[in-house]
Structure 1
């Protein structure tokens, strides 16, 4: 592992957006394909929702493979979103997905512990009575924060473990181990990375909500932008992966950074 300064977190974000500028059509098509695939899975609730959670690392490899192609100055094709489904690593990636699913369930369970369901039922029955005080009384805000405190780090660890499984042939447990300690060792950079992405996403989505409203069109546009930001985040994670880990023999054709 290489030593990474905290400012690298912002550079990863910038390089993620630089990839989008380099190949906007290819990446946008890939993001649209991912959005269609996830929409189909979500419609098949609850099995589809569970499958989507388990397949999260597999789709992450699709985004990171696109980043790999851009760094190597090759075109990104829509089929790149399925890169994680090809090859012998699929089962191991799905094992990472099970860890992601369990973390999500645990995060939801922790969040529900903070909810006052009597106040929540009243709010749902009479939504027009919603006030900031009533929303605080539901306990939703501390519940979301508590759940996020577990889920977000786990999501980051699982996402960062995916390329170790795919391109360095690690077993899921070993990949999670290396991912955890890589993130711990470069915690400053990952904190800057996470805060920067959250700030960008919050600002952009708030702006879109103010301009387009919260109707069907507004939600559709915000959904597309959210998927785009999700993909850019994984492109940035690929840059972090290359900087932190020396590429294996399977990954020698990937240049270090843009």
Structure 2
């Protein structure tokens, strides 16, 4: 396995590839993403334990969406079973993926614990147990500080786990090393990932402006409600589809690895 250094403009290309691949198999990819969300949502119904389990499945489910993207990019129709790709390649790599999931869940829980120092655990309780999110709570200075702490801490966590599932699954890298290699890949290609993030941010802003324009033209709030959810789902699916290309271009496989 060799790390590739790509130019900053490649970040925009990753976004483009994600969108193009989505439109090759829009129903299949959107359906798989919906299954992914449904699974996480069902598990999250159970307070605390269900959320911890849902977080532990995120790396494996993300790898499943990457595998689906790989199939769609090659002209194949990804079947629902592709979401289980991370757990169908042998006991050793399945165990490594489960370990990676436990590390992700533990890291996220640790972040919630740190955020509790700012607001007495209100933000963490809302995530783990649920409750009503009132304007008074959101506007509270302590709650906002806790949310800011989560945002700041989640950035390095997301970089460590960005490539980790794919490295474990396709390259057989150990969970600990995959986190290190993922962070190094993101840092060495910081320009490309910065462009990638900015292009996606602007894309979501553009979609929001389009929806707002529709409201201004037709003045129909129900139309917006009917359109905004599928639009958000479509954009989110495109984003997850593009993750595969960030991995594909950041690492060059050895002859014995599965591309």
TM range (shorter): 0.7 to 0.9
List aligned pairs for 1:61-76, cutoff 5 A: 61-76=63-78
Q: Could you say what secondary structure the match of 2:40 adopts?
A: helix
CA 1:49–1:232 in 2, change beyond 3 Å: closer, same or farther? Answer: same
CA displacement 1:35-93 (0-9 Å, x = unmatched): 22222212233322111100111001111001111222222222222222222322211
After superposition, the CA RMSD in angstroms is: 3.3
2-structure distance, mates of 1:87, 1:117: 40
Q: Which residue of 1 aligns with 2:146?
A: 143
Q: Could you say what secondary structure the match of 1:55 adopts?
A: helix
Q: Which residue of 2 aligns with 1:242?
A: 248
Larger displacement relative to structure 2 (67-76 or 177-186)? 67-76
Task: Calculate the TM-score normalised by the size of structure 2.
Answer: 0.78
Q: 2:106 aligns with which of 98, 102, 105?
A: 102
CA 1:99–1:229 in 2, change beyond 3 Å: closer, same or farther? Answer: farther
CA contact (8 A) 1:30 1:79 kept: no
Q: Which residue of 2 aligns with 1:79?
A: 81
Question: How much does 1:221 deviate?
Answer: 5.6
CA displacement 1:71-122 (0-9 Å, x = unmatched): 222222222222222223222112222222222223323333333899xxxx
Q: Which residue of 2 aligns with 1:174?
A: 177
CA displacement 1:206-252 (0-9 Å, x = unmatched): 876995869xx949964x65554444333212111111111243324
CA contact (8 A) 1:6 1:186 kept: yes
2-structure distance, mates of 1:59, 1:220: 26
Number of positions where the alignment pairs a residue of Structure 1 with one of Structure 2:
240
Question: How much does 1:204 deviate?
Answer: 4.0
CA 1:73–1:117 in 2, change beyond 3 Å: closer, same or farther? Answer: closer
CA displacement 1:18-47 (0-9 Å, x = unmatched): 111111111122122222222221223332
2-structure distance, mates of 1:117, 1:24: 40
Q: Which residue of 2 aligns with 1:256?
A: none
Question: How much does 1:202 deviate?
Answer: 5.3
1-structure distance, mates of 2:29, 2:9: 26
CA 1:157–1:76 in 2, change beyond 3 Å: closer, same or farther? Answer: same
Larger displacement relative to structure 2 (41-50 or 175-184)? 41-50
**1:45 equivalenced with 2:47 (yes/no):** yes
Q: Could you say what secondary structure the match of 2:89 adopts?
A: coil
Question: How much does 1:175 deviate?
Answer: 1.0
CA contact (8 A) 2:30 2:233 kept: no
Q: Which residue of 2 aligns with 1:121?
A: none
* Unaligned segments of structure 2, at least 5 residues: 123-130
Q: Which residue of 2 aligns with 1:251?
A: 258
CA 1:246–1:42 in 2, change beyond 3 Å: closer, same or farther? Answer: same
